Amino acid sequence: MPVAGAVSEVRYVNLGVRDLAASIAFYTRAFGYQVLHTADDDGTGTARLWGSAEAYPAAVAVLGPAGATSGLLRLSGWAAPAGPARTGDTRRDHGHYAVNLRVDRIDEVRRRIQDDEALVLSEPRQWSITPEITVWDSLSHDPDGTVLDVFEIVEDATGFSGSGIGPHRVQTVAVHVPDAQAATDCYTGLGLRVWFDKTIDGMTDFFHVPGGVRLRDVNLYAPGHGDGGRVEIVQYVGLTGRFTDAAPPRTGINSITFEVDDLDAATAALCRAGGRPVAGETQVDLPMHGPARSRLLLGTGGEAIELFARVGG
């Protein structure tokens, strides 16, 4: 399948939150992130992006490691937040599933998460992602119920995951889909590449799924950017799911953002692979990236994917 051209790693994970100050405090304390940018947003640009007749104002903060320009969290503290993007049953809700965050010491971060009273879903467990990579992995919630897959790399014989010295930018955003192959085709059409594609057995208690359900897991990366900003396709084989609505001002993961060199070509590539546009093109001004042409599309899992190309770039 022809691809769209150059595509970045995930620049932003866009999270709607109820209490911006509380969310900033949680992520800076638990993960050592810094506030890289703040702004007040009147909501008109977001409304155009989502094709909404109503604007939803928000106070915005961009968080991440110092100096990072991708793998960032862009938090929108909605003035009038709606309900969560997901029902809370992550086994069945399609769409954006979790934010995967790498840490250097999972035991220390686990204590900080618990101190902030976020719900711990699964205690740390050691397992091998691939024969070359072993991790300590855990599942938790942030203050708004967004699932966080927090992990520590024990061994990486490939060197693909980069330095073990954090803080680390967002490693992957997991997307729960009804058909892993269709979703993989969508992201490879955009220009991402498959790092690994495997089916996982024996982790039903960790993922809180019924016995006999298998997890197909496809991890994709932007060429030259394996150490963060990846996409993880998740399909629970043997368990039916449902599509969810993550539009603003819902809380949780609203969308993910990629930079592309050709917005029209990237849009066409996603549509050929099963994506569909939400609204027309709009002009945006992105923190640390400046003025851009932008468009929002839905992937095959119903997840919102924002594409942007810098004006004059």
pLDDT of residue 117 exceeding 80, the answer is no
pLDDT of residue 3 exceeding 90, the answer is no
Q: Assign 142 a pLDDT band (cuts: 50, 70, 90).
A: very high
pLDDT tens digits, one per residue of 210-221: 788 888 999 999
pLDDT of residue 163: 76
pLDDT of residue 161 exceeding 50, the answer is yes
pLDDT tens digits, one per residue of 263-309: 999 999 999 999 999 999 999 989 888 999 999 999 999 999 999 99
Q: Assign 2 a pLDDT band (cuts: 50, 70, 90).
A: very low
pLDDT of residue 134: 93
Each domain of the chain, given as residue ranges in start order, spans 95-237
Name the average pLDDT for the chain. Answer: 91
- Distance (Å, whole) CA 305 – CA 258: 8
Of 81 and 116, the structure prediction assigns the larger pLDDT to 81
Question: Which residue, 252, 255, 147, is CA-closest to 207?
Answer: 147
Beta bridge partners of 37: 62
pLDDT of residue 239 exceeding 60, the answer is yes
Question: Which residue, 144, 146, 94, is CA-closest to 303?
Answer: 94
Largest Cα–Cα separation, the chain: 53
pLDDT of residue 81: 96
- CATH class of the structural domain 95-237: alpha beta
